[in-house]
């Protein structure tokens, strides 16, 4: 059933956040997978956490579709270039909600139009009856280019009659695909930034996915949902060649780190990727793009490793370093070796949590201060309230690891911390006229997360600096071997 160009596909949307689209999208992915289908999950927007759960539901690593950061071509290619039996796209917020800057609308509806995919609307019907029909009619007719093909009524009370709701929705010209009762045992764990990172509770998450799959199979017409997805099986004409869906462990784990070119030795630099409970926020496409350019990715844990892997560059992603500040601070030997490697010119790219780890210290919510790496001359502080959230359009403040001064970038930030630098002479970006982040030599650290599918030239500039470092240093000059793992 595999498609060489574009898989059957559908979008799971909702009238607003909180209707249950994440849970039902995961359950649908898991149910389709248990039917023997190859499923690829996607998430509209910049979210890291939902895609982590998609890996447990669908098998392959979940991938992001973000029109603001990636642009239309890269979003289309992300779906058109994957070989799978079906692609399930989980939306973000309400169906028509999203960032609008006059140029780049980024709602779930815009992604559905771009992909020419039908929408299945998830509606919380716990406090509605026939009024569901009016709501669905509004969503189905609001934009004639968005096809709302079906609705799943979530948190349905099984003691209620379906007749009035069924008739009302059908008058809107939309199919009812399922009546799903609430089930507390299917809830996913959460914390202040959203869901808990799936890998922290892998056994528990796998069990929840099994229960979700069974719940969806019982209460949703999965066969009809699949038939709707088949109606969108026409090709999307990708600019890039089709490729197999990434494996379940496409993040840098022991079984998958290394060159993406099967059977070939890595031809590019070795990039050490921080990956553990403190650092796990990486876009799957960013890691795949690195591999596509010949990089070999080696996982290491700032929590437990005593040394850095032998490498030509370092990638410190986001995560929850504040929850592991004691352990990160206590790993003095790695902090010392990392600071020395940065001082020796090791190219290092860090985002958000990675920025915090590189600061001289981090003050947690209890007022305790933890010494950290010290490569960034600043002090980080955690706060109870959100300190920064939203899309960012900035430009490189100076010549740096990512490229020449003035290059524009589009990214996203979401953090509860602040980082106060001792001086602002070396910002990474200029955003709305103000300095942001820190960049000096081949160290680049910022709160802004980038999706490199939207700015491949910046990725290539980083890799060039890694190649230059490799060419200028002998193996004895590089960070010494440690517990890093590669395949």
The pLDDT value recorded for residue 232 is: 85
The pLDDT value recorded for residue 252 is: 47
Give domain 9-230's CATH superfamily: P-loop containing nucleotide triphosphate hydrolases (3.40.50.300)
Local structure of residue 110 (DSSP, 8 states): H
Domain with CATH 3.40.50.300 in the chain: 9-230
The pLDDT value recorded for residue 478 is: 58
Residues linked to residue 244 through DSSP beta bridges, in sequence order? 83
Residues in contact with 461: Cβ distance below 8 Å, sequence separation at least 6, in sequence order:
401, 402, 403
Alpha helices, H only, 175-260: 202-219, 222-230
Distance CA 226, CA 18 (A): 24
Per-residue pLDDT of the chain (487 residues; tens, 9 = 90+): 333 347 899 999 999 999 999 999 999 999 999 999 999 999 999 998 889 899 999 999 999 999 999 999 999 999 998 889 999 999 999 999 987 655 557 899 999 999 999 999 999 999 998 999 999 999 999 999 999 999 999 999 988 889 989 999 999 999 999 999 988 667 665 544 444 455 555 678 888 899 999 999 999 999 999 999 999 867 676 555 544 544 444 444 433 333 333 333 346 899 999 999 999 999 999 999 999 999 999 999 999 999 999 999 999 999 999 999 999 999 999 999 999 999 999 999 999 999 999 999 999 999 999 999 999 999 999 999 999 999 999 999 999 999 999 999 999 999 999 999 987 789 999 999 999 999 999 999 999 999 999 999 999 999 999 999 998 865 555 555 444 554 3
Distance CA 70, CA 80 (A): 15
What is the secondary structure of 249-277 as a DSSP string? TTTT-TTT-S-SSTTS---S-EEEEE-SS
Q: What is the set of active-site residues?
A: 352
- Burial of residue 435 (CB within 10 Å: 0-12, 13-18, 19+) is middle
Structure confidence by residue, pLDDT tens digits, 43-72: 999 998 889 899 999 999 999 999 999 999
Report pTM. Answer: 0.88
Residue 429's φ and ψ, nearest 5 degrees, are -130, 165
Local structure of residue 105 (DSSP, 8 states): -
Q: Does the domain formed by 249-477 have CATH 3.40.190.10?
A: no
Distance CA 463, CA 295 (A): 8
Residues of the chain by 3-state class (helix, strand, coil), percent to 5: 35, 25, 40
The pLDDT value recorded for residue 189 is: 57
Alpha-carbon separation of residue 118 from 110, 111, 247 (angstroms)? 12, 11, 26
User: Please, what is the end-to-end C-alpha distance for the chain in angstroms?
Assistant: 30
The pLDDT value recorded for residue 349 is: 98
How many of the other CB atoms lie within 10 Å of CB of 16? 12
The pLDDT value recorded for residue 262 is: 34
Q: For the chain, how long is the longest CA-to-CA vector? A: 75
Structure confidence by residue, pLDDT tens digits, 153-197: 999 998 888 998 999 999 999 999 999 998 866 766 554 444 445
**Contact (CB, 8 A) for 21 and 41:** no
Paired tokens of 369: 């201060």
The pLDDT value recorded for residue 188 is: 66
Alpha helices, H only, 321-452: 325-330, 332-343, 353-358
Domain with CATH 3.40.50.880 in the chain: 249-477
């Amino acid at each position: 059933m595999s498609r060489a160009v574009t898989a059957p596909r559908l979008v799971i949307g909702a009238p607003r956040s909180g209707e249950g689209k994440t849970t039902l999208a995961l359950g649908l992915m898991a149910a389709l997978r248990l039917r023997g289908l190859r499923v690829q999950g996607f998430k509209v927007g910049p979210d890291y956490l939902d895609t982590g759960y998609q890996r447990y539901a669908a098998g392959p690593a979940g991938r992001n579709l973000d029109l603001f950061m990636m642009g239309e071509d890269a979003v289309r290619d992300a779906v058109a270039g994957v070989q799978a039996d079906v692609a399930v796209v989980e939306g973000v917020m309400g169906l028509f909600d999203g960032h609008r800057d006059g140029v780049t609308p980024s709602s779930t509806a815009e992604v559905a139009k771009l992909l020419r995919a039908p929408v299945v609307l998830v509606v919380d019907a716990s406090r509605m009856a026939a009024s569901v029909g009016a709501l669905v009619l509004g969503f189905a007719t609001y934009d004639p280019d968005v096809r709302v093909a079906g609705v799943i009524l979530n948190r349905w009370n099984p003691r209620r009659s379906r007749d009035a709701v069924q008739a009302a929705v059908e008058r809107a010209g939309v199919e009812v695909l399922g009546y799903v009762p609430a089930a507390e045992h299917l809830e996913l764990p959460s914390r202040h930034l959203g869901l808990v990172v799936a890998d922290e509770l892998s056994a528990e998450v796998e069990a929840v996915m099994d229960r979700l799959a069974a719940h969806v199979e019982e209460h949703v017409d999965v066969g009809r949902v699949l038939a709707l997805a088949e109606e969108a099986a026409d090709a999307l004409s990708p600019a890039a060649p089709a490729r197999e869906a990434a494996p379940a462990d496409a993040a840098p784990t022991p079984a998958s780190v290394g060159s993406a070119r099967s059977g070939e030795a890595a031809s590019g630099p070795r990039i050490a990727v921080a990956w553990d409970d403190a650092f796990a926020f990486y876009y799957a496409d960013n890691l795949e793009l690195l591999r596509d350019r010949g990089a070999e990715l080696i996982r290491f844990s700032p929590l437990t490793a005593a040394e850095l892997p032998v490498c030509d560059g370092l990638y410190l992603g986001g995560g929850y370093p504040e929850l592991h500040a004691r352990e990160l601070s206590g790993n003095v030997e790695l902090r010392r070796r990392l600071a020395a490697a940065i001082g020796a010119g090791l190219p290092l790219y860090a985002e958000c949590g990675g920025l915090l780890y590189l600061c001289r210290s981090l003050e947690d919510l209890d007022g305790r201060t933890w010494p950290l790496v010290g490569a960034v001359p600043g002090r980080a502080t955690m706060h109870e309230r959100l300190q920064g959230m939203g899309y960012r359009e900035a430009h490189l403040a100076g010549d740096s690891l990512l490229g020449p001064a003035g290059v524009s970038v589009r990214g996203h930030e979401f953090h509860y911390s602040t980082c106060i630098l001792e001086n602002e002479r070396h910002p990474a970006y200029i955003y709305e006229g103000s300095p942001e982040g820190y960049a000096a030599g081949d160290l680049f650290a910022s709160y802004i997360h980038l999706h490199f599918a939207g700015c491949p030239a910046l990725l290539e500039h980083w890799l060039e600096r890694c190649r230059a470092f490799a060419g200028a240093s002998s193996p004895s000059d590089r960070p010494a071997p440690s517990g890093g793992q590669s395949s």
